[in-house]
Amino acid sequence: MKFKIQKKYLLNSIQAVSNAISSRTVIPILTGMKIDVTPSKIVLTGSNSDITIQSHIPSMKEEEEIITDMTAGSIVLPVPHFPEIIRKLPEDIVHVTVEDNYKTIIQSGKAVFTLYGQSSEEYPHIKINQSEDHLTLNIKDLKTLIRQTVFAVSPMETRPILTGVNVSLTNDLLTFTATDSHRLALRSINIKENNLEADSIVIPGKSLQDLNKIFDDHDGKVHMTILKNQVLFYTDHLYFLSRLLSGNYPETSRLIPNESKTTLHIFTKDLIHTIERAALLSSRDQNNVIRLDTLENNIIEISGNSPEIGNVKEQLGAVSIEGEELKISFSSRYMLDTLRTIDSERVQIDFTGAMRPFVIRTPDEDKILQLILPVRTF
Amino acid sequence: MKFKIQKKYLLNSIQAVSNAISSRTVIPILTGMKIDVTPSKIVLTGSNSDITIQSHIPSMKEEEEIITDMTAGSIVLPVPHFPEIIRKLPEDIVHVTVEDNYKTIIQSGKAVFTLYGQSSEEYPHIKINQSEDHLTLNIKDLKTLIRQTVFAVSPMETRPILTGVNVSLTNDLLTFTATDSHRLALRSINIKENNLEADSIVIPGKSLQDLNKIFDDHDGKVHMTILKNQVLFYTDHLYFLSRLLSGNYPETSRLIPNESKTTLHIFTKDLIHTIERAALLSSRDQNNVIRLDTLENNIIEISGNSPEIGNVKEQLGAVSIEGEELKISFSSRYMLDTLRTIDSERVQIDFTGAMRPFVIRTPDEDKILQLILPVRTF
């Protein structure tokens, strides 16, 4: 096996695939990165018990030669050594040659590295194929779906299913839902290109965070296909396979109140900054609980109290307040998690009393819904 | 006590003083920040068992009013709450008012914070005065003295004196020396303004790192004065007091070889990059030992070997190699620590054999000397 490649392309692929490689794995060969050289491309693979990432580097890109001097073969190289070596090479061109006993020579400029590789035959066989049965969405939309929901998954393994995001497809509407039972985040988008049947799966939250990380390019399209116990996201050159969580995701629609006693319209950034200040003097024991009171003349007051240290009060003008007057306490952390994912200039918050969950929506987008349970403080 | 101040000046002072405040202190009041208001200025003080930092904010700066509405008094406010509150205030002007029972109101825009302060009478009395007996140097030079020596102090408390930097003054030559007994870093500068007598003190390495951090302004002058068991560095508005280490600093001059069997002149950056690559495949058990061999035609070879993982060899052209041929092994980490502090484009390295310490100097500056002990690998 050998090849000569432009360093920047190899480095990009290595960085994506590295996200799947962990030194803490029960299968020793998975601490390495697999490289397959075929006559037309190089494929890098990284894998752990949750996800597998594969990056394909074509030998030609438009008119540009990316890879030359290719001889087919495969090898598994140690991580983090292989990525670190490529990152620090002195020149823009790298020669990689595998000799006897998986001894791999990496040469660039006057630097010559020898790495002891392993046989790729010991690497688990992971089948990753494109499929006719897939849906297609913009990478930008996938990143929005993840960003506006994944923060609300449960960090606790007591109910494992809640550590995942429920992804459901009905009538070309793709919906991500996450809840840790104190709050819920839901985001939908309409899918235009879809061959998948209605389905509901649960993807580990950690997998979606990794997926969000490797797609830093916002422009293209991404395809999603559901396999047995697995979900595959792929673009032309990047494949991301994740295991699914088994079990039934709880029915969450009944949690969402369909009436409102007090409706608040307010500027998102103003509310974020005021809550950040109130959170500075909120009790850390109680998940940084703060309080919101409606006053007259479309004014709300946000307050925090940290016994021993001090307290804070701040009045803030809302765009409008309709309905009953309200005093409610809630976790500033949950509220900030939610508000920080919202891109809209204004939010609408619907309350149905001090002890009932309240709902945050955006006026210009009907497919986002965030719900938070208040905290009893009196 | 009360005052009204431009937030940016208060924030600058708070940031400097915060470096001395730790939540892990045996004296509870020292977890707070002391504020003294006098008719002409505000003084902030932070302190721990090693250092005290004091920042003075004058009420006027040139024609600009920084502080108004001042009533004298003092208070101790909780950290990190007070700094966090100031950082997040909504407006550029802050009102601070101390009411009964040390209750302190901090108000900016519509945000009103109440902090429960403590009496400043409980705060230890720390006497910080300017002195006639001082030397004066450029902040830039002080930062160079620290940066080129402090990395070589011992991290271990087995010989406490080696955790400090030896600062000595003889004939207007100020010298900083640090050693962990495997390497030594020495830097001198000539002092033009000096009323201090010849002296030698040992300042904790940690204190000098803190001092380096708070002087991010490179332009001005700084004064140094030696008190009983303490050293004080000060500018017009900032005072930095550190305890000294007691005990005799070892005599280090006899460690420095005064002959050379092999002299290498080489470009600093080239050498750094080659050593960084060799370090990737050096044995971590042995402090990342790498090897340097002189070859013919002014070429050196740097190599690393990590059993199990692989090895690396790289040839590098030197400006000149004079004297005996050489094979030597040393810690890549020590060598990189040293080379990264050197600003000069080229370095001169003098070797006196494979098992003797070698010395790194710069050709354009005779007041820097770095020494590293080699490692026996065969």
Model pLDDT, residue A283: 76
Interchain pair B312, A111: CB under 8 A: yes
CATH 3.70.10.10 domain extents, chain B: 256-372
Model pLDDT, residue A25: 86
pLDDT band at B129 (very low <50, low <70, confident <90, very high): confident
Interchain pair A280, B112: CB under 8 A: no
Average pLDDT along chain B: 94
B132 touching A (Cβ < 8 Å): no
Rounded average pLDDT over B61-72: 94
Using one digit for the tens of pLDDT, what is the confidence trace for A269-315?
Answer: 999 999 999 999 997 776 799 999 999 999 999 999 998 899 999 99
Which residues numbered 264-293 in A keep a CB inside 8 Å of some CB on B? Answer: 273-274, 276-277, 280-281
Question: Which CATH architecture group holds B256-372?
Answer: Box (3.70)
Using one digit for the tens of pLDDT, what is the confidence trace for B237-291?
Answer: 999 999 999 999 999 988 899 899 999 999 999 999 999 999 999 977 767 999 9
Rounded average pLDDT over B41-70: 95
Is there a contact between B98 and B2 (Cβ–Cβ < 8 Å)? yes
Tokens of B321: 């190699």
Q: What are the backbone dihedrals phi and psi of residue B153, each rounded to the nearest 5 degrees, phi first? A: -70, 160
A87 touching B (Cβ < 8 Å): no
- Burial class from Cβ neighbours inside 10 Å (0-12, 13-18, 19+) for residue A132 reads exposed
- Burial class from Cβ neighbours inside 10 Å (0-12, 13-18, 19+) for residue A353 reads middle
Instruction: State the Cα–Cα distance between residues B135 and B153, nearest whole angstrom.
Output: 24
Interchain pair B115, A273: CB under 8 A: no
CATH 3.10.150.10 domain extents, chain B: 2-122, 135-152+169-174+188-253
Count of CA atoms in the C-beta half-sphere (13 A) of B265? 9
Interchain pair B310, A113: CB under 8 A: yes
Is there a contact between A275 and A292 (Cβ–Cβ < 8 Å)? no
ipTM of this predicted complex? 0.90
User: Mutating which of A75, A103, A112, A288 best tests the B interface, going by the most B Cβ atoms within 10 A?
Assistant: A112
Angle between helices A268-280 and A332-341 in degrees, nearest 10: 150
Tokens of A116: 């002891």
Residue B363: strand, helix, or coil: coil
Model pLDDT, residue A93: 97
Q: To which CATH superfamily is domain B135-152+169-174+188-253 assigned?
A: DNA Polymerase III, subunit A, domain 2 (3.10.150.10)
Interchain pair A277, B309: CB under 8 A: no
User: Mutating which of B107, B116, B267, B303 best tests the A interface, going by the most A Cβ atoms within 10 A?
Assistant: B116
Instruction: Nearest chain B residue to A115 by CA: give it.
Output: B310
A314 touching B (Cβ < 8 Å): yes
Q: What are the backbone dihedrals phi and psi of residue A317, each rounded to the nearest 5 degrees, phi first? A: -75, 130
CATH 3.10.150.10 domain extents, chain A: 2-122, 135-157+169-177+189-250
Higher pLDDT, B196 or B249: B249
Q: Contacts of residue B274 in chain A, CB cutoff 8 Å?
A: 111
CB-nearest to B312 from A113, A281, A312 is A113
Distance from CA of A115 to the nearest CA of B (A): 4
Residue carrying structure tokens 């001889």 = A71
User: Mutating which of A89, A99, A116 best tests the B interface, going by the most B Cβ atoms within 10 A?
Assistant: A116
Model pLDDT, residue A303: 97
Tokens of A11: 């480095």
Matching CATH number, B2-122, of 3.90.76.10, 2.40.30.10, 2.40.37.10, 3.10.150.10: 3.10.150.10
Q: Contacts of residue A75 in chain B, CB cutoff 8 Å?
A: none
Interchain pair A309, B115: CB under 8 A: yes
Using one digit for the tens of pLDDT, what is the confidence trace for B298-337?
Answer: 999 999 999 889 999 999 999 999 999 999 999 999 999 9
B295 touching A (Cβ < 8 Å): no
Is there a contact between B167 and B153 (Cβ–Cβ < 8 Å)? no
Residues forming beta bridges with residue B136, ordered by sequence position:
B193, B223
Model pLDDT, residue A228: 86
Instruction: Nearest chain A residue to B111 by CA: give it.
Output: A314
Residue carrying structure tokens 């692929």 = A13
A78 Cβ partners below 8 Å, 6+ apart?
A31, A32, A115, A116, A117, B309, B310
Instruction: State the Cα–Cα distance between residues A367 and A149, nearest whole angstrom.
Output: 12
Alpha carbon distances (Å) from B163 to B169, B245, B297: 20, 9, 42
CB-nearest to B310 from A81, A111, A274 is A81
Model pLDDT, residue B57: 97
A188 Cβ partners below 8 Å, 6+ apart?
A173, A174, A175, A176, A367, A368
Instruction: Nearest chain A residue to B90 by CA: give it.
Output: A273
Tokens of B112: 């009103």
Least confident of A135-139, A291-295, B93-97, B213-217: B213-217
Q: Contacts of residue B116 in chain A, CB cutoff 8 Å?
A: 308-310
Interchain pair A276, B316: CB under 8 A: no
Q: Contacts of residue B306 in chain A, CB cutoff 8 Å?
A: 81
Percent of chain B past pLDDT 90, that is, above it, reads 86
Interchain pair A90, B277: CB under 8 A: yes
Distance from CA of B129 to the nearest CA of A (A): 33
A316 touching B (Cβ < 8 Å): yes
Q: What are the backbone dihedrals phi and psi of residue A131, each rounded to the nearest 5 degrees, phi first? A: -140, 150
CB-nearest to B116 from A111, A310, A314 is A310
Residue B9: strand, helix, or coil: helix
Residue carrying structure tokens 């966090």 = B84
Evaluate if residue B378 carries a pLDDT over 80.
no
Instruction: Nearest chain A residue to B281 by CA: give it.
Output: A81
Instruction: Nearest chain B residue to A79 by CA: give it.
Output: B309
Instruction: State the Cα–Cα distance between residues B190 and A43, nearest whole angstrom.
Output: 60
Instruction: State the Cα–Cα distance between residues A261 and A352, nearest whole angstrom.
Output: 5
Interchain pair B280, A81: CB under 8 A: yes
Q: What is the DSSP string of A135-182?
A: EEEEHHHHHHHHHTTGGGS-S-TTSGGGGEEEEEEETTEEEEEEE-SS
**Cβ neighbours, 10 Å, residue A272:** 17
B81 touching A (Cβ < 8 Å): yes
Q: What is the pLDDT along chain A (378 residues), one digit of tens a residue?
A: 999 999 999 999 999 999 999 988 889 999 999 999 999 999 999 999 899 999 999 999 989 999 999 999 999 999 999 999 999 999 999 999 999 999 999 999 999 999 999 999 999 998 888 888 999 999 999 999 999 999 999 999 899 999 999 999 998 999 999 999 999 999 999 999 888 888 899 999 999 999 999 987 778 999 999 998 999 999 999 999 999 999 999 999 888 998 999 999 999 999 999 999 999 999 777 679 999 999 999 999 999 999 889 999 999 999 999 999 999 999 999 999 999 999 999 999 999 999 999 999 998 777 999 999 998 775
Interchain pair B88, A308: CB under 8 A: no
Assigned CATH class of A135-157+169-177+189-250: alpha beta
Distance from CA of B308 to the nearest CA of A (A): 7
Residues forming beta bridges with residue A374, ordered by sequence position:
none
Taking alpha carbons only, the member of A340, A375, A376, A378 closest to residue A360 is A340
